[in-house]
């Protein structure tokens, strides 16, 4: 087997992995009011990634008046027979968050749909419903909701990022690239968009451009191991083993349990060793 692979297509030798990874893993759902990187990661090769659910509606107790502990028995019985009160927009929105946090995407979709019916111009409802559909395995429905989000709010950088990630997953690379370009134009601090555009360029064998995008993602999120893994992968594709080794080592320093970084580090070290031995072998043959 040629120790110095030249390409990075689907038929590439199994000896090395060129599958780029998501900058932020998909949202937990755990605490969707946080803007930190999420911790639910789909199986490799997961090239795209998503930003978190939007927390625009204010958080408040859903039914603060239903505490009946201080009521007389007759009052409690009367309340129990009443028809449940219709939820407000904010209550649907917040319950959608709670359901998504628990992995109940169908319930979350129902709540965000209710929000969109109450206020059809509320872009956050479509964005959140789109992400819930995406996480539940409905990419077409997610694209429709992200597109509606963009129609209502053309400056919504995260919506372009998430829609581009679905295009990237389905190898619609030109559409993915256009969405990530727009996401970056709207928000140059969007590390996720930089990383995912790097993934798109890596898939297009545009290695130098991919390196530049990964560099931006690393500068914006130096604590995250994934962009370093991705940049190391691009260096590996270019035959720059020492730089690849440095990035895989840095990724493992940030995440010691990063199995794929460990595997690619060993590969880069093997390729570097093979390259170092090549002149010696040539001399011996002479």
Overall CATH class of domain 17-56+87-204: mainly alpha
Structure tokens at 106: 């169908």
**Cα separation, 144 vs 61, whole angstroms:** 31
pLDDT above 80: residue 71: no
Of the listed ranges 79-83, 117-121, 272-276, the one predicted with least confidence: 79-83
Q: What is the widest separation between alpha-carbon atoms in the chain?
A: 103
Query: Mean pLDDT throughout 39-64?
Result: 42
Transcribe 39-76 into DSSP letters: -B-PPSS-----PPPP--SPP--S-GGG--TTS-HHHH
CB 146 within 8 A of CB 179: no
Percent of the chain at pLDDT above 70?
66
Structure tokens at 178: 């256009």
207-286 homologous superfamily: Tetratricopeptide repeat domain (1.25.40.10)
**Which single residue is written with the structure tokens 């859903």?**
62
CB 194 within 8 A of CB 20: no
Domain spans of the chain, in order of start: 17-56+87-204, 207-286
pLDDT above 90: residue 96: yes
Query: Mean pLDDT throughout 127-134?
Result: 94
Same fold, 17-56+87-204 and 207-286: yes
| pLDDT reported for residue 38 | 29
Query: Mean pLDDT throughout 273-279?
Result: 62
pLDDT above 80: residue 34: no
CB 207 within 8 A of CB 239: no
pTM: 0.72
What are the start-end ranges of the H helices in 153-258? 157-169, 173-186, 191-203, 207-220, 226-237, 241-254
Please state, as a whole number, how many other Cβ atoms lie within 10 Å of the Cβ of residue 211. Answer: 20
pLDDT above 50: residue 225: yes
Helix (H) or strand (E) holding 276: helix 259-285
| pLDDT reported for residue 273 | 79
């Amino acid at each position: 087997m040629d120790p110095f692979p030249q390409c990075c297509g689907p038929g590439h030798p199994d000896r090395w992995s060129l599958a780029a990874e998501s900058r932020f893993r998909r949202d937990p759902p755990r605490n969707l009011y946080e803007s930190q990187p999420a911790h639910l990661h789909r199986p490799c090769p997961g090239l795209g990634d998503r930003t978190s659910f939007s927390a625009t509606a204010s958080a408040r107790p859903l039914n603060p008046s239903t505490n009946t502990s201080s009521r007389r028995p007759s009052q409690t019985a009367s309340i129990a027979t009443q028809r449940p009160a219709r939820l407000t927009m904010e209550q649907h929105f917040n319950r959608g968050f709670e359901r998504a946090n628990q992995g109940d995407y169908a319930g979350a979709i129902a709540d965000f749909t209710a929000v969109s019916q109450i206020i059809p111009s509320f872009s956050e409802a479509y964005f959140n419903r789109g992400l819930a559909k995406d996480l539940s395995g409905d990419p077409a429905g997610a694209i429709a909701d992200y597109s509606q989000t963009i129609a209502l709010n053309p400056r919504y950088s995260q919506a372009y990022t998430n829609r581009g990630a679905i295009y990237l997953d389905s190898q619609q690379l030109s559409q993915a690239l256009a969405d990530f370009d727009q996401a970056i134009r709207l928000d140059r601090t969007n590390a996720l968009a930089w990383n995912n555009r790097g993934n798109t360029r890596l898939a297009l064998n545009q290695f130098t451009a991919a390196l530049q995008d990964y560099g931006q993602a690393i500068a914006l999120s130096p604590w995250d191991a994934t962009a370093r893994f991705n940049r190391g992968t691009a260096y590996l594709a270019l035959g720059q083993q020492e730089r690849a080794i440095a990035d895989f080592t840095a990724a493992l320093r940030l995440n010691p349990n990063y199995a794929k970084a460990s595997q690619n580090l060993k590969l880069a070290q093997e390729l570097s060793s093979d390259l170092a031995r090549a002149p010696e072998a040539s001399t011996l043959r002479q």
